[in-house]
Amino acid sequence: MDISNITDIIKTRKSFRTFDGKLISKEHKEMLSSYIKTIDNPYNIPVEFIFLNAEEHGLSSPVIKGEHLYIAAKVPKTEHCEEAFGFSFEKMVLYAWSLGIGTTWIGGTMPREKFEKAVQLKDNELMLCVSPLGYPANKMSVKELAMRAAIKADKRSSEKELFFENNFSSPLNTSDEKVAKALETVRFAPSAVNKQPWRIVKTGNTYNFYEYSTLGGHSAAWDVQKVDMGIALCHFITLTSGELCLSDPHIETPKKHRIYCRCFALNNAYITQS
């Protein structure tokens, strides 16, 4: 993907739930198909993408209109599979948008059993989310407009609510333009019910990612907000060429912030390793 305009791609991407009813072009499908073969993630957990023809498999979503094609993905059930999924699927989403193809992350509003059957999901695999692929219609459906308003889809939390230095009480003020840009792309990221669970605490030259878990359901087989964390990491790592390192930074955390991971920004001339 052309990294030079990645910030624009991230900032102009949004969920599209109303499509123009046309199939995506053969050329675009081939480009997307080639690109997804190159996608990897810092967890080295394989994420397998599958195109699904909506009519052939009888697939639809109650929130999507005018689509003919979906893309789904599967991961092996393993520790960090949600974050790996989030990271890789977001790469696909951003590449699709660079071609003008609209997507919507769908983890809930779909007949899950039908999609899982269509991807021939095995017992040791999870299909966390799917997305329609299509060209956005000129006008959003009434349902889409209502949905966006209900979840305040165009709003994001402020920097001072999300990014901190040394502890969770001191907001982060960075004069480093590259880091500031990367943090902004984290802020713009999509998340389930637009809950934006990511919190980042900078210590030295390390950016420690935390999940502020608000959707509950941790007894379920998987945590959708960890998928969101993978998306945030995708943006941050792409913008900083940082490296992921999993360890506990021992920062005192408010009750609901779960220690998640550390992200060293190693490969940058502008950052020296702490």
Ligand X SMILES: Cc1cc2nc3c(=O)[nH]c(=O)nc-3n(C[C@H](O)[C@H](O)[C@H](O)COP(=O)(O)O)c2cc1C
Q: How far apart are CA 128 and CA 140, in angstroms?
A: 26
List binders of ligand X among 62-91 (CB under 6 A).
63
The stretch near ligand X (CB under 6 A) out of 20-28, 70-78, 103-111, 166-174 is 103-111
Q: Is 106 in the site for ligand X (CB under 6 A)?
A: yes
Q: Is 191 in the site for ligand X (CB under 6 A)?
A: yes
Which one of 22-30, 100-108, 209-217, 266-274 is the stretch in contact with ligand X (CB under 6 A)? Answer: 100-108
Give whichever of 66 and 107 is closer to ligand X, judged by the CB atom.
107
- What tokens does 257 get? 């912030």
Nearer to ligand X by Cβ, of 125 and 165: the residue is 125
Q: Report the nearest approach of ligand X to the CB of residue 271 (Å).
A: 28
| Residue 125, both tokens | 């695999």
Which of 9, 129, 133, 265 contacts ligand X by CB under 6 A?
A: 129
Q: What is the 3-state secondary structure (H, E, C) of the chain?
A: CCHHHHHHHHHHCCECCEECCCCCCHHHHHHHHHHHHHCCCCCCCCCEEEEEEHHHHCCCCCCCECCCEEEEEEEECCCCHHHHHHHHHHHHHHHHHHCCCEECCECCCCCHHHHHHHCCCCCCEECCCEEEEECECCCCCHHHHHHHHHCCCCCCCCHHHHEEECCCCCECCCCCHHHHHHHHHHHCCCCHHHCCCEEEEEECCEEEEEEECCCCCCCCCCCHHHHHHHHHHHHHHHHHCCEEECCCCCCCCCCCEEEEEEEECCCCCCCCCC
Interface pick for ligand X out of 104, 208, 213, 253 (rule CB under 6 A): 104
Q: Which is nearer to ligand X, 78 or 109 (CB)?
A: 109
Which range of residues in 49-57, 104-112, 118-126, 210-218 is near ligand X by CB under 6 A? 104-112
Contact 143, 17 (CB under 8 A): yes
The residue range among 112-120, 169-177, 210-218, 223-231 that interacts with ligand X, by the rule CB under 6 A, is: 223-231
- CA dist 184 and 236 (Å) reads 9
Q: How far is the CB of 194 from ligand X (least distance, A)?
A: 4
The reply to whether 190 sits near ligand X by the rule CB under 6 A is: yes
The distance of closest approach from Cβ of residue 153 to ligand X in the complex, given in angstroms and rounded to an integer, is 4
Residue of the chain from 92, 183, 192, 265 that contacts ligand X (CB under 6 A): 192
153 binds ligand X (CB under 6 A): yes
**Closer by beta carbon to ligand X, 100 or else 204:** 100
Binding site for ligand X (CB under 6 A): 14-15, 63, 104-109, 129, 151, 153, 190-194, 224, 227-228, 231
